[in-house]
Structure 1
Amino acid sequence: MSMTNRSPFKLDTDLITLRSLVAVVEEGGFSAATKRVHRTQSAISLQMAKLEERLHVKLLDRTSRSVSLTPSGETFVSYARRILELADEAVLAVTAPDEQELLRVGFAEYLAPQHLHSLLARFRRSHPHCDLSLVLGSGTAMIKALEHGELDMVFAGPEGENGQLLWEEPLVWTGMKESVDHDGAPLELVLMPPPCWYRQKTFDALARASRPWKLSVEANSVQAVQSAVRAGLGVSVLPLSAVQSDMLLASDSLPALPDTSVMIYVQQDSYQPYARRLIDFLLAGIEENLENRTVMLMQATSTRVHGN
């Protein structure tokens, strides 16, 4: 029997519309979403209107200043993200190389995103012939391991040479008000041991500002730095993406800091069929959340900085 009517229980839309919906939600509006999906604001608005008409459900509450999800919209977007992830995995799977290879990846601990393991799991499902070895540590140690042939690629900061720039993000002071505002007292610092690029930039900034300091805690990992900062043992300098949502951005009275670069380093003159694919895959997955997470963190901490 031929069914000519659309079923109300089947999704009748395209992936482009779903990408537009997710972009509107994550970018915070139609105008901001245009750059991400490369469509005009009016085209995106029409897509959303047609999608809501097909579903017979309102997904977005729109005002002249903001866009927010309805309860139905929250549910639908969670499914939309899963559909898009599966579609992207399908493309990866059918275009993956056939070689059986071990890809040894080093990730500077302070750059590893919280969802790194889920990203790697998605990559591994789409590339069953690629075995992954993941090592976390300091950027300097990872780059040395790469130079000694112990790793195939390393994601780290600007510590090394011949790296490819992936993106830039600000360095920020993070810590509690009590760790900052002591008239004339040295600034109490929580830092990782040398060699550490962020440690040197901290000292350089304080020297330029003639700000006295003392090293209160020397922590051997980013997690240890984060724990010490949360405990109020001092302030630290971290990339903005390494500042957790329950950590405070420190005072504007502290010296200005430079941006930091996130780089990819690969073994020179070596063929690794999965390296470039993993770089592009991780870059897409991390960049998709980086700007949105930065905005959310700034908003979350702005009302709590210095205990306000």
Structure 2
Amino acid sequence: MRRPTFDLDVLRTFVTGVELNSFAKAADRLDRSTSAVSAQLKKLEEQVGTPVLVKSGRGLVLTPVGESLLSHARRLLELNDGIFQTLHESQTAGTIRLGLQEDFGEHLLSEILRRFVQVYPMMTLEIRIARNTELLSLVENAGLDLALTWDTGHTSPHATRLGETHMHWIGARDTPSPARLDGSTLPLILFDAPCVLRSAATQALDTARIPWRIALTSPSVGGIWAAVAAGLGLTLRTRIGLPAHLRVISGLPPVPSLGYVLHSSGEHPTPAIKQLAASIKTSLQAHTFSFATAK
């Protein structure tokens, strides 16, 4: 059996008339004649197969079927208008400035960009890979529209905590696990201070009374991975971007999870910025799930 299809123009007239409590006013707003509106309402009732409006005094009131139809019609119109709005916005040109920690930039950036450009192919993105302190300063001074950072306890007016991930002790493939601690000083490979992972590593070792020394500092995650792979020491990081030739090492003091936060420079972001934020959240959720299922 072929199902009838509602005419969205007819539904818009119906919804507008009910909301204005006057189909004459609806005719004016929609730039239609009153006779055209009456014809639309008649067509609607013929499609539904039962009255949706009945006279009450000098006006009209909804029947129970009309009340149900009104709810469905509003949702259909909202979906229709949302589709056209999205299609219109997708042709918007402009520039969005996004800042990322190197961990996120190295591992998630391509996926974030892929999701975003599917919706906004005309937008230009300016990417800044930097440390937390610099990213937060840029957001606060409107130098970035969005910034994805580690949660260091620093708050900003428009920040959303998106989740957290575990920190791990990481070493070369041939590093014993559990780590053999014979009282010798543990060599560490870390960013220079201030660094939330550096602080977490040294605090955990101090609490466990394990002696340590900074064997190497690097301004980049790539430099840290290279030094760890060379056997110069251990590092504390998350699994984000963990190279296949390195591995998580057990036997060292536990460390807490590390949160990540998305900062926005404005209270009222544009639709394109909202879409980019949604792309970031989706990519992070997929990434977190892959960690949860990793062996």
Query: Quick check: TM above 0.5?
Result: yes
Please state if 1:212 is matched with 2:185: no
Q: How far off its partner does 1:273 sit? A: 3.0
CA change 1:172–1:275 in 2 (3 A) is same
Q: Deviations 1:85-123 (Å, cap 9, x if unpaired)? A: xxxxx9996374554321100001123352422430441
Shift of 1:292: 1.8
Relative to 1, partners in 2 of residues 1:268 and 1:94: Cα closer, same or farther, differing over 3 Å? closer
> 1: distance between equivalents of 2:107 and 2:267?
32
* Aligned partner of 2:168 among 149, 172, 182: 172
> Following the alignment from structure 2 to structure 1, what is the Cα–Cα distance between the partners of residues 102 and 84?
30
Q: 1:147 aligns with which of 105, 116, 140?
A: 140
CA contact (8 A) 1:240 1:294 kept: no
Q: Give the C-alpha shift of residue 187 in structure 1.
A: 0.6
Q: Which deviations, in whole Å up to 9, do the C-alpha atoms of 1:263-293 show, x marking residues without a partner?
A: 1011144543322211112211331233224
Corresponding position: 1:109 with 2:102: yes
Question: In structure 2, what is the Cα distance between the partners aligned to 1:95 and 1:190?
Answer: 49
Structure 2 Cα separation of the partners of residues 118 and 242 of structure 1: 13
**Deviation for aligned residue 1:294:** 4.5
Task: Give 1:147 shift.
Answer: 1.5
Describe how 1:31-46 pairs up with structure 2 within 5 A.
Answer: none
Q: Indicate conservation of the 8 Å contact 1:189/1:215, yes or no.
A: yes
Secondary structure in 2 aligned to 1:248?
strand
What is the CA-CA distance between 1:126 and the residue it aligns to? 2.3
Measured at CA, do residues 95 and 209 of structure 1 come closer, stay the same or move farther in structure 2, by a change above 3 Å?
farther
Question: Greater shift after overlay, 161-170 or 264-273?
Answer: 264-273
Counterpart-to-counterpart distance in 2, 1:91 and 1:237: 48
In the alignment, which residue of structure 1 is the partner of 2:67?
none
Q: Give 3-state SS (helix, strand or coil) of 2:213's partner.
A: strand
Matched letter for residue 147 of structure 1: E
TM-score computed with the length of structure 1 as normaliser: 0.61
CA deviation profile, 1:186-222 (whole Å, cap 9, x unmatched) = 1100000111111111111111111100000101111
Return closer, same or farther for 1:175/1:143 CA change in 2, 3 Å cut-off: same
Aligned partners of 1:95, 1:287: CA distance in 2, in Å? 28
1:137 — aligned with what? 130
The answer to whether the 8 A contact 2:107-2:240 is kept is no
Q: Which residue of 1 aligns with 2:248?
A: 249
Q: Which amino acid aligns with 1:277?
A: Q
Q: Is the 8 Å Cα contact of residues 164 and 264 (structure 1) preserved in structure 2? A: yes
Counterpart in the other structure of 2:116: 123
* Aligned-residue RMSD, C-alpha: 2.5
Equivalent position amino acid for 1:119 in 2: I
Q: Secondary structure at the match of 2:143?
A: coil
Structure 2 distance, partners of 1:272, 1:94, is: 15
User: CA–CA distance in 2 between the matches of 1:141 and 1:231?
Assistant: 29
Following the alignment from structure 2 to structure 1, what is the Cα–Cα distance between the partners of residues 111 and 273? Answer: 18
CA change 1:115–1:165 in 2 (3 A) is: closer
Task: Quote the Cα distance in structure 1 between the aligned partners of 2:85 and 2:200.
Answer: 40
Q: Is the 8 A contact 1:140 1:196 kept in 2?
A: no
SS state at 2:107 partner: coil
- Shift in Å at residue 141 of structure 1? 1.3
- 1:185 and 2:184 aligned: yes
Corresponding residue number in structure 2 for 1:266: 264
1:231 CA displacement: 1.4
- Aligned pairs, how many? 207
**Conserved? CA contact 1:178–1:232, under 8 Å:** no
For 1:192 and 1:263, locate their aligned partners in 2 and report how far apart those are by CA, in whole Å. Answer: 20
User: How far apart are the structure 2 equivalents of 1:283 and 1:230?
Assistant: 31
Letter matched to residue 293 of structure 2 = V
Residues 246/295 of structure 1: CA separation in 2 closer, same or farther (3 Å cut): farther
> 1:294–1:225: structure 2 CA closer, same or farther, 3 Å change rule?
farther
1:284 counterpart (272, 282, 285): 282
Helix, strand or coil for the counterpart of 1:274? helix
Counterpart of 1:226 in structure 2: which amino acid? W
Conserved? CA contact 2:162–2:281, under 8 Å: yes
- 1:60-98 deviation per Cα after TM superposition (whole angstroms, max 9, x unaligned): xxxxxxxxxxxxxxxxxxxxxxxxxxxxxx999637455
The answer to whether the 8 A contact 1:92-1:126 is kept is no
SS at match of 1:102: strand
TM-score by length of 2: 0.64
In 2 relative to 1, CA 215–283 (structure 1 residues): closer, same or farther, beyond 3 Å? same
| 1:240 and 2:239 are equivalent in the alignment | yes
Which residue type is aligned with residue 236 of structure 1?
T
